[in-house]
Amino acid sequence: MISIIIPTYNEEKYIGKSTKCFKEKMTLPHEVIVCDDKSTDKTVEVAKQYADVVLTTITKWPTIATNRNNGVKSAHGDIYVFIDGDSYIEDPDEFFTRALKDFEDPRIVALTGALDIFPEVKTWGDVIMYKIFNFVHFIKNNILHSGESSGKFQMIRKEAFEKVGGFPANLVTREDGIMFNKLAKVGRTLYDGKLIIYHNGRRAHKFGWPKLLTIWMIETFWVAVFKKSRLKEWVAIR
């Protein structure tokens, strides 16, 4: 079974779209677990309409990595899928049938796919940047075997997740890329460009690509050198 784990914080506008597709379109054995990080809007109320499990917390989790790890505690599947609350898969059955085909190779411990922006809000900057990001993910996973992925979509074998100790809970940012770096040391990580994950691109649209890229580059350097995030909190953009 596939356990789909979705961390949320104030995703009222998007969580319905993210979860409804699984409830209405997915026939493969699965469960949807929404792990909410003390939202102040109607995220939990909306999620309960479509998710199998909605986890809430009394105290806000320190990082999204901690929230993802908490979601795993309620999972029953042998494969974990992590997607963000603003992400969307058009045809879950077709998508995961292909993904499971990739996992027939026993060397593969984790899988990621191609990121794209909702067509109605996509800009030329998005087109260019995500072609670059997807190419980098292809190179680092399929050629260099060093592992790289966005938290928008990660599909991981349960035993591999446990072997690396889950997401690095101390990191505010780069926890997703570091996770795939760790997984690449215990098996093979794969980028499959036929698996397309859509999201709203709100952070790039809010900050602008130059500013967002600068933040990402600084955080990547900081984590690589100091083994911790420079930022104390990753600001949510709604």
Q: Which residues pair with 110 in a beta bridge?
A: 156, 189
pLDDT at 107: 97
Residues 202-216 pLDDT 10s: 888 888 888 888 887
pLDDT at 233: 67
Q: Is the pLDDT confidence value at 89 over 60?
A: yes
Domain annotation covers residue 234: no
Please state, rounded to an integer, the average pLDDT across all residues of the chain.
92
pLDDT at 221: 78
Which structural domain range is residue 102 located in?
2-201
| pLDDT band with cut points at 50, 70 and 90 for residue 237 | very low
Domain annotation covers residue 218: no
Domain annotation covers residue 60: yes
Characterize 166-205 residue by residue with b for buried, 16 or more Cβ atoms within 10 angstroms of its Cβ, and e for exposed: bbbbebbbbbbbbbbbbbbeebbbbbbeebbbbbbbbbbb
How many domains does the chain divide into? Answer: 1
Residues 124-168 pLDDT 10s: 999 999 999 999 999 999 999 999 999 999 999 999 999 999 999
Calculate the alpha carbon distances from 9 to 5, 64, 108, 182 in Å: 13, 9, 31, 26
Domain annotation covers residue 115: yes
Domain annotation covers residue 231: no
pLDDT at 234: 58
- CATH code, 104: 3.90.550.10
Domain annotation covers residue 183: yes
Domain annotation covers residue 125: yes
Domain annotation covers residue 40: yes
Residues 94-128 pLDDT 10s: 999 999 999 999 999 999 999 999 999 999 999 99
pLDDT at 62: 87
Residues 176-233 pLDDT 10s: 999 999 999 999 999 999 999 999 888 888 888 888 888 878 887 787 777 777 767 6
pTM summary value: 0.94
